[in-house]
Structure 1
Amino acid sequence: MKDYKEISKKSFNEDAEKLNLEESSEENKFFMKRESYDIVQEEVKKENFDDFLDIGCGIGNSIELLLKEFPESHFIGLDIAEKMIELAKKKKLSPEHTEFIIGDAENLPFDGHSPHQSFDVVICKETFHHFPHPEKFFTEVYRVLKPNGRFIIFDFATTEISRWIKNNITNSFSSHGICHHYNIQEVTDLYKNFNFEILRAENVTDDRMIVSGRKIIKEQTK
């Protein structure tokens, strides 16, 4: 079986080696479409938050943007690719309010209750399709979210025909560690299965979708 995590890490490390933050223009710095950042930022701003987690943070662009508007909040960026984290740290963002760490989205290194170990908002932007065990990922996100916390996924969207071709043919040859291309129904089903209230679920561009949900506390059985 393919080791999707190792393939993804290798691919993103190679991407990081191509980036020079000192020489990059603002346009190149946001190498994934800048408009996608704006969509996610607006969704994040719907929530009052003190603690924020970006899973698959890359070089920390989302945190850099949010920090300008929320300088007193605490931000953590997590990525499996160590070279992406190296670049994020080179930005020298506020050390009191930001952390960038290497980690696995399916095994989050947070206890879920200590200060800065649980979160009001968790985002996963353009990364979810790389995770080989989505149920494990959702379990981990639910665990580290505070009660009523918001969880936002922003990911690829495509036609059903194209999605079938990718999932059944081309993903097998991907050198980027792509596991599965989702449609909105698949993602919202995961949210509901893991006790999230759906707040938003829609295609927002020709090739991107956003799903946002709120953690609902599971009722204790007697």
Structure 2
Amino acid sequence: MDLVQHRQILSEELSYIINDYDQFKQRINERKQDPQKHSLIKQINLWEIKSIEIIQQKAQEYREILMKSSQTCINQIEMKLNNLNEQIKQFQKEKEFNEINLNHLSNQLIEITKELNNPSNMSIQQNSRSLINEISIILSKKPKFNKWKQNAITVAGGNGLGQEFSQLNYPKGIFIDEMKNIFIVDYFNHRIVEWKYNAKQGQIIAGENGQGNRMDQLNYPTDVIVDQ
């Protein structure tokens, strides 16, 4: 593969990365404009629908029980009311009644009215047991890292972009050995540079013959590991 073909492949790969970046950026913008599109929001909505269905089913079940019991209660009240009506008719027919009889009729009517307004055999009791499965939102806290000291020092490079021993051009991978020597992948210079501890410039340990595929060359290196 010649250099032109290689550059073409790299350009295509960069285009793919840019395209993926643009698509991801669009997703971020859509999420900002419409937070409801979050996948967990959909789960909450589904939980809400199912919970409402359970509550509605239970509510309908309780309504049917109450209406059936209420009808039974009304039937019993009607029987008592009919009995009271017969007593009234009897007094009207015989015309033999006194204050005691009238008080008795009045008290019966009062009791029947109370029974209709406040039936003693029906009430609602709150149950502490939940009908639905409760959910909760768990927010994982990001690990807290110690901040770098504000007054840092440059240990490699620091002299602008370039190819000199005191310069770097888009450094990528890095390795620090036990002696605090720093090995840096100098990406666009196609080399690996070692900076001794407290050194003012580095020394090339791999790829000092420019970009290429020979044994003594490197082609956009990305990482370095040193066997100690």
Using CA pairs below 8 Å that are at least 6 residues apart, which structure has the higher relative contact order?
1
Q: TM-score, normalised by structure 1?
A: 0.18
The structure carrying a bigger helix percent of its residues is 2
Q: TM-score, normalised by structure 2?
A: 0.17
Structure showing greater radius of gyration is: 2
